[in-house]
């Protein structure tokens, strides 16, 4: 039986993976838990505990962890080795920025199409490093997902008044993971099972910080 990993551990594992990406080390080099602490802010003791808990026993005393093997293990835990194909709903500035996010590629995430209703955007495309990613009308969304059953994730960047309705449609079409960037808290339909929703309004965290700064006792 597979060990269930808490989301807190998964978050720290993602920090370790991002650190390796930033360092751009050679496959045969080694990295210590202390170096990971410097980059991620996670204590070296916690790093070692996480690796032990997850069965990552590829470290060498005084040398650390071999980068190639550590990459492989972290990718496997995060399921990045399997990759993910994604659609973006809303092809405005934010939607296009998400689709063009340059680090998606090294994270094995591929945006396959965008969807919108604006005549000036529909039937055009976004150039992502030489690959033309099409923008379709949202009326084609259901058929597109039927034709591409491997796509289970959607990034939602539509106006807030259309966000909940669009989310409901995505769930009914079989999408299993949705990240909502609209400035509105969305909710999954009550009968929904096995669907992950993240409400990630870009401004919310900033507003929280600004508030805390000016209202600090």
pLDDT of residue 206: 67
Share above pLDDT 90 across residues of the chain, in percent, rounded to a whole number: 48
Share above pLDDT 70 across residues of the chain, in percent, rounded to a whole number: 90
pLDDT of residue 101: 79
Helix (H) or strand (E) holding 164: helix 160-172
**Band of pLDDT at residue 3, cut at 50, 70 and 90:** low
Answering whether pTM is above 0.75, one says no
pLDDT of residue 62: 72
HSE (side-chain half, CA atoms, 13 Å) at 135: 20
91 backbone dihedrals φ, ψ, rounded to 5°: -110, 30
Residue ranges with strand state E in the chain: 30-31, 59-60, 64-66, 84-89, 109-116, 125-128, 131-137, 153-156, 177-180, 196-199
Q: How does the average pLDDT of the chain come out, rounded?
A: 87
**Band of pLDDT at residue 186, cut at 50, 70 and 90:** very high
- Express each pLDDT in 52-62 by its tens digit: 888 887 656 67
CA distance 75 to 109: 12
Which residue, 173, 165, 179, 104, is CA-closest to 144? 173
pLDDT of residue 81: 73
Cα angle for residues 16, 22, 26 (degrees, 5° grid): 95
Higher pLDDT, 121 or 4: 121
Higher pLDDT, 203 or 40: 40
- Express each pLDDT in 95-110 by its tens digit: 998 888 766 766 778 8
Q: What is the mean pLDDT of residues 179-198?
A: 89
CA distance 35 to 84: 29
Q: Which two tokens stand for residue 97?
A: 């920025």
**Band of pLDDT at residue 47, cut at 50, 70 and 90:** very high
Domain 83-206 indexed as CATH 3.40.50.720: yes
Residue intervals of the chain classified under CATH 1.10.10.10 are 7-80
In this structure, of 38-47, 127-136, 150-159, 171-180, the range with the lowest mean pLDDT score is 127-136
pLDDT of residue 203: 64
HSE (side-chain half, CA atoms, 13 Å) at 151: 22
- pLDDT surpasses 60 at 138: yes
pLDDT of residue 2: 56
Residue intervals of the chain classified under CATH 3.40.50.720 are 83-206
- Express each pLDDT in 111-133 by its tens digit: 999 999 999 999 999 988 788 99
pLDDT of residue 24: 84
Architecture of domain 7-80: Orthogonal Bundle (1.10)
Q: Which two tokens stand for residue 102?
A: 């340059």
pLDDT of residue 1: 40
């Amino acid at each position: 039986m597979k060990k269930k990993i808490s989301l807190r551990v998964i978050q720290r594992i993602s920090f370790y993976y991002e650190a390796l990406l930033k360092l751009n080390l050679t496959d045969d080099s080694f990295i210590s838990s202390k170096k990971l602490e410097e980059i991620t802010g996670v204590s070296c003791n916690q790093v070692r505990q996480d690796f032990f808990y997850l069965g990552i026993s590829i470290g060498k005393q005084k040398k650390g962890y071999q980068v190639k093997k550590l990459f492989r293990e972290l990718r496997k835990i995060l399921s990045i080795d399997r990759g993910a194909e994604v659609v973006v709903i809303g092809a405005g500035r934010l939607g296009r920025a998400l689709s063009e996010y340059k680090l998606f590629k090294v994270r094995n995430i591929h945006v396959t199409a965008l969807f919108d209703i604006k005549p000036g955007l529909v039937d055009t495309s976004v150039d992502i490093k030489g690959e033309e990613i099409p923008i379709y009308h949202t009326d084609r969304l259901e058929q597109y997902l039927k034709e591409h059953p491997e796509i289970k994730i959607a990034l939602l960047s539509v106006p807030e008044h259309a966000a909940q309705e669009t989310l409901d449609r995505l769930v009914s079409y079989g999408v299993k993971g949705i990240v909502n960037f609209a400035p509105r808290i969305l909710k999954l339909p009550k009968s929904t099972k096995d669907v992950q929703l993240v409400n990630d309004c870009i401004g919310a965290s900033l507003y929280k910080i600004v508030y805390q700064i000016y209202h600090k006792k």
